[in-house]
């Protein structure tokens, strides 16, 4: 199998080779691999690659899947304008 | 400045689980806001043109799209439910404030309780050239075809034989697309046997213990190389073969869409039987965060029927907590729903789910009768090939040949224990019994059966046939379910096939039942030479005959 032709993260175009290289270099969490390869940073936010990367880590390190965490996920879940963020908010009852 | 709005219950996701959750809570006076990312409600149901399995009570035998219409209708009529369409939940914060993007504005809400019914996303597969145009997820293919009426390709290779892979393959054929083969890495078919059988009858090969090695093509998919796998899932040398196709459809499973739950730091754990990372939760669907509930695929991958019941349980649990009265009645409802779920999961196909749930610490102490849940028949051949064995058939046919002399009788070619009962419920003469448990295999009581053919249209697995052996001296008639276009004309000569899609003989159409009652599953009576009455199980209408 040509690892260079297997895509793991479709949004950021990260190949199986890049993921395996990162694991070999000692990055053995999904979060670390995200930071060094950009996998999971695209529009789908790791929905495609997250599980595949976790499985790859499990296979290469022998760690069971149950012990592997997915990357952290933070709000916002999609794009918004800065204006919306900076406008500020009050509670409904406060007036 | 925008204001934070207080809510009683926020339901996130307008699919079967979310709709059921909203209704269950709203019916007990809870004010519900239902937030859906898309511009319409329905989730996956909007593309489910096939009939559902499951229990009659939860709409089995009804098409997914029709179940949806009923649910949406109820939701729209309910004054306690406010529907927010085109509303994407962007964030849920530690203080339980939820932000929703609607009309380019980020609106902020403070719900007393939340039910996440966000569903699942499709799994992806790692193989060479897996980024070529023409490689689709099965869900995407279904959306293109059944929602937007767009054909994805002309000749598709399906990867994965779970129910979605089988159903989408069948729907591709209905849309006039060729299905080159269905490839399954496991040694047995993942979905229900009845789905597999109807594809085999249409001539689609199902290759178990096979996998895709690479996609072939320059600009787009032109084919795929597949190979055989041994019992350790390793490639068997020298078994590579090239399959020509212009699209590869991946149906390799779903995984719960837990992103929002992870934002709120709900505890999740990996459970392979439930599709991936799932939230920890209790039997009332409440997660590790108080007043935050889940329902449907986000809590573990299962069928839509289970998702609807889970939605009810979550909705009722919220109603019980917030509501001031009817608590006993609600509690009773919750118990009923739980029992129904347990029944659905009690057969052999529920085994995986049961195992997954027990990893979450659920259903301990409940007595699933594991002995009951073993298969009653040896269906290993059927699950490997999609074609029932001689033994299986013998089990379902009359023990004595002379039973056929009494006139037309129904034959059920359903051999697997799975939760389904429309055949039983549809028969006016109570001629189909499955002995009280929905997971039992249906048997026809040939004494009671009148050969009316009602069950032929009602069975979602297309597994009911009526056979009139002695129609004439030399011919028999078989009533078969038919869901393709064009429909045959009375008197037309059609090609008749066996259970493996092999041509048997020509047959003559003598009657077509295709009214409102049949609901697009026509019951077509085909006259064939007598020698084939036990084999003829499918027919094709020649395009040329219809001008
Ligand atoms: S053919 Fe009619 S009577 Fe016979 S099992 Fe089917 S529905 Fe019942
Ligand atoms: S024969 Fe009955 S149990 Fe089997 S698929 Fe048809 S309706 Fe369901």
Q: Percent of chain A scored above 90 by pLDDT?
A: 66
CB of B223 within 8 A of CB of B216?
yes
Query: Which one of the ligands is nearest to B456 CA?
Result: 1
Whether residues A80 and B101 touch (CB distance < 8 A) is answered with yes
Q: Percent of chain B scored above 70 by pLDDT?
A: 98
Query: What letter would DSSP give residue B52?
Result: P
Measured between beta carbons, the chain A residues lying within 8 angstroms of B252 are none
Helical H runs in B323-474? 327-344, 351-359, 380-385, 390-396, 422-426, 454-458
Measured between beta carbons, the chain A residues lying within 8 angstroms of B260 are 73, 77
Whether residues B3 and A90 touch (CB distance < 8 A) is answered with yes
Around Cβ B272, how many Cβ atoms within 10 Å? 13
Residue B144 to residue B147: CA distance in whole angstroms: 6
CA of B454 to the centre of ligand 1 (A): 6
User: Between B108, B124, B276, which is nearest A48 by CB?
Assistant: B124
Which of B167, B422, B444, B480, when mutated, tests ligand 2's pocket best, judged by the most ligand atoms within 8 Å of its CB?
Answer: B422
pLDDT at B367 > cutoff 90: no
Q: Which of A86, A2, A67, A3 is nearest to A29 (CA)?
A: A67
Segment 133-162 of chain B within 8 Å of chain A by CB: none
pLDDT at B1 > cutoff 60: no
Q: What is the pLDDT of residue B547?
A: 41
Residue B105 pairs in a beta bridge with: B102
Q: What is the pLDDT of residue B373?
A: 75
A59-77 residue pLDDT tens: 999 999 999 999 888 888 8
Q: What is the pLDDT of residue B410?
A: 98
Whether residues A65 and B128 touch (CB distance < 8 A) is answered with no
Whether residues A91 and B3 touch (CB distance < 8 A) is answered with yes
Q: What is the pLDDT of residue B157?
A: 98
Ligand 2: does its nearest atom lie under 6 Å from the Cβ of B442? yes
Put simply, whether the predicted model's pTM sits higher than 0.80 gets the answer yes
Query: What letter would DSSP give residue B200?
Result: H
In chain A, the residue whose alpha carbon lies closest to the alpha carbon of B124 is A48
Segment (H or E) for B467: strand B464-468
Query: Which one of the ligands is nearest to B407 CA?
Result: 1
Q: Is A82 on the interface with B (CB under 8 A)?
A: no
Q: What is the pLDDT of residue B545?
A: 55
Q: Is A35 on the interface with B (CB under 8 A)?
A: no
pLDDT at B127 > cutoff 80: yes
Whether residues B121 and A72 touch (CB distance < 8 A) is answered with no
The verdict on domain A7-87 having CATH code 3.90.700.10 is no
Q: Is B88 on the interface with A (CB under 8 A)?
A: yes
A32-47 residue pLDDT tens: 999 999 999 988 889 9
Measured between beta carbons, the chain B residues lying within 8 angstroms of A93 are 6
B382-409 residue pLDDT tens: 999 999 999 999 999 999 999 999 999 9
Nearest CA to ligand 2 atom 6: B459
Query: Which one of the ligands is nearest to B459 CA?
Result: 2
Nearest CA to ligand 2 atom 5: B461
Q: How far is CA A87 from CA A17, A80, B106, B208, in A?
A: 44, 12, 10, 58
By CB neighbour count within 10 A (0-12 exposed, 13-18 middle, 19+ buried), where does B385 fall? buried
Whether residues A68 and B270 touch (CB distance < 8 A) is answered with yes
Query: What letter would DSSP give residue B534?
Result: T
Between B366 and A32, the more confident residue is A32
Q: What is the pLDDT of residue B343?
A: 87
Strands B464-468 and B409-412 come out as antiparallel
Q: What is the pLDDT of residue B459?
A: 95
Between B374 and A2, the more confident residue is A2
- Secondary structure of residue B85 in the 3-state scheme: coil
Top-ranked range on mean pLDDT: pick from B74-78, B352-356, B374-378? B74-78
Strands, E assignment, B67-209: 81-84, 88-92, 98-102, 105-116, 120-122, 135-137, 155-159, 178-183, 206-207
B483-523 residue pLDDT tens: 999 999 999 999 999 999 999 999 999 999 999 999 999 99
CA of B188 to the centre of ligand 2 (A): 20
Q: Average pLDDT, whole number, for chain A? A: 90
B28-64 residue pLDDT tens: 999 999 999 999 999 999 999 888 887 777 777 889 9
Size of interface A-B (CB pairs under 8 A): 100
B429-456 residue pLDDT tens: 999 987 778 889 999 999 999 999 999 9
| Residue B190 banded pLDDT, cuts 50, 70, 90 | very high
Residue B52 pairs in a beta bridge with: none
- Pocket residues: Cβ below 6 A from ligand 1: B 410, 426-427, 429, 431-432, 444, 449-455, 466
Whether residues A75 and B108 touch (CB distance < 8 A) is answered with no
Domain ranges for chain A, please list them. 7-87
pLDDT at A26 > cutoff 80: yes
pLDDT at B347 > cutoff 60: yes
In chain A, the residue whose alpha carbon lies closest to the alpha carbon of B359 is A66
Q: Average pLDDT, whole number, for chain B? A: 94
Whether residues A80 and B276 touch (CB distance < 8 A) is answered with no
Q: What is the pLDDT of residue B472?
A: 97
CB of A15 within 8 A of CB of A5?
yes
**What's the rounded mean pLDDT across residues B243-264?**
97
Q: What is the pLDDT of residue A95?
A: 47
CB of B64 within 8 A of CB of B304?
yes
Ligand 1 closest atom vs CA B451: 1
B5-23 residue pLDDT tens: 999 999 999 999 999 999 9
Q: Which of B135, B228, B272 is nearest to A7 (CA)?
A: B135
Helical H runs in B41-125? 64-77
Q: Percent of chain B scored above 90 by pLDDT?
A: 86
User: Between B1, B88, B93, which is nearest A77 by CB?
Assistant: B88
């Amino acid at each position: 199998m040509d690892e260079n032709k297997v895509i793991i993260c479709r949004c950021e175009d990260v190949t199986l080779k890049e993921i395996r290289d990162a694991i070999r270099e000692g990055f053995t969490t999904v979060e670390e691999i995200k930071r060094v390869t950009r996998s999971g940073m695209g529009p789908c936010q790791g929905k495609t690659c997250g599980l595949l990367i976790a499985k790859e880590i499990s296979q290469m390190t022998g760690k069971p899947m149950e012990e592997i965490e997915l990357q952290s996920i933070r709000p916002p879940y999609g794009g918004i304008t800065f204006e919306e963020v900076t406008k500020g908010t009050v509670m409904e009852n406060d007036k | 400045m925008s204001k934070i709005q207080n809510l009683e219950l926020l339901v996130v996701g307008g699919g079967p689980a979310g709709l059921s959750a909203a209704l269950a809570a709203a019916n007990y006076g809870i004010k519900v806001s239902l937030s859906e990312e898309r511009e319409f409600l329905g989730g996956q149901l909007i593309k489910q043109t096939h009939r559902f399995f499951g229990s009659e009570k939860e709409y089995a035998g009804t098409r997914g799209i029709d179940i949806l219409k009923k649910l949406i209708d109820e939701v729209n009529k309910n004054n306690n439910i406010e529907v927010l369409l085109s509303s994407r939940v962007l964030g849920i914060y530690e203080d339980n404030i939820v932000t929703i993007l609607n009309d380019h504005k980020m609106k902020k809400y403070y719900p007393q309780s939340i039910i996440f019914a966000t569903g699942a996303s499709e799994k992806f597969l790692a193989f060479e050239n897996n980024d070529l145009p023409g490689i689709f997820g099965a869900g995407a293919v279904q959306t293109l075809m059944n929602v937007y009426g767009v054909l994805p390709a002309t000749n598709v290779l399906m990867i994965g034989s779970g129910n979605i892979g089988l159903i989408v393959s069948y729907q591709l054929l209905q849309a006039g697309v060729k299905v080159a083969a269905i490839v399954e890495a496991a040694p047995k078919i993942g979905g229900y046997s009845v789905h597999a059988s109807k594809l085999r009858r249409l001539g689609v090969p199902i290759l178990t213990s096979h996998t895709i090695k690479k996609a072939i093509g320059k600009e787009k998919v032109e084919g795929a190389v597949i190979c055989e796998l041994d019992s350790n899932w390793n490639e068997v040398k020298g078994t590579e073969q090239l399959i020509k196709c212009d699209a590869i459809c991946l149906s390799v499973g779903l995984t719960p869409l837990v992103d929002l739950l992870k934002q709120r730091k709900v505890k999740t754990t990996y459970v392979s039987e439930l599709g991936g990372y799932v939230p920890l939760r209790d039997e009332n669907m409440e997660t590790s965060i108080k007043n935050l509930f889940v329902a449907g695929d986000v809590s573990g991958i299962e069928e839509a029927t289970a998702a609807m019941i889970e939605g009810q349980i979550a909705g009722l649990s919220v109603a019980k907590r917030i509501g001031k009265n009817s608590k006993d009645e609600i509690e009773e409802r919750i118990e009923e729903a739980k029992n129904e779920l347990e029944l659905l999961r009690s057969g052999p196909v529920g085994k995986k789910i049961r195992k997954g749930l027990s990893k979450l610490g659920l259903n301990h102490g409940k007595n699933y009768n594991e002995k009951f849940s073993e298969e009653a028949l040896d269906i290993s051949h059927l699950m490997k090939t999609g074609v029932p064995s001689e033994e299986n058939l013998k089990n379902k046919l009359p023990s004595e040949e002379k039973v056929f002399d009494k006139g037309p009788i129904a034959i059920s070619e359903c051999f697997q224990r799975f939760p389904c009962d429309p055949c039983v419920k549809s028969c006016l003469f109570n001629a189909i019994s499955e002995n009280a448990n929905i997971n039992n295999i249906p048997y026809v009581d040939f004494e009671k059966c009148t050969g009316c053919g009602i069950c032929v249209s009602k069975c979602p697995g297309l597994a009911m046939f009526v056979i009139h052996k002695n129609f004439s001296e030399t011919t028999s008639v078989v009533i078969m379910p038919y869901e393709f276009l064009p429909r045959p004309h009375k008197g037309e000569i059609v090609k008749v096939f066996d259970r493996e899609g092999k041509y048997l003989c020509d047959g003559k159409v003598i009657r077509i039942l295709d009214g409102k009652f049949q609901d697009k599953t026509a019951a077509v009576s085909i006259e064939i030479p007598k020698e084939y009455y036990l084999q003829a199980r499918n027919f094709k209408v020649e395009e040329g005959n219809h001008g």
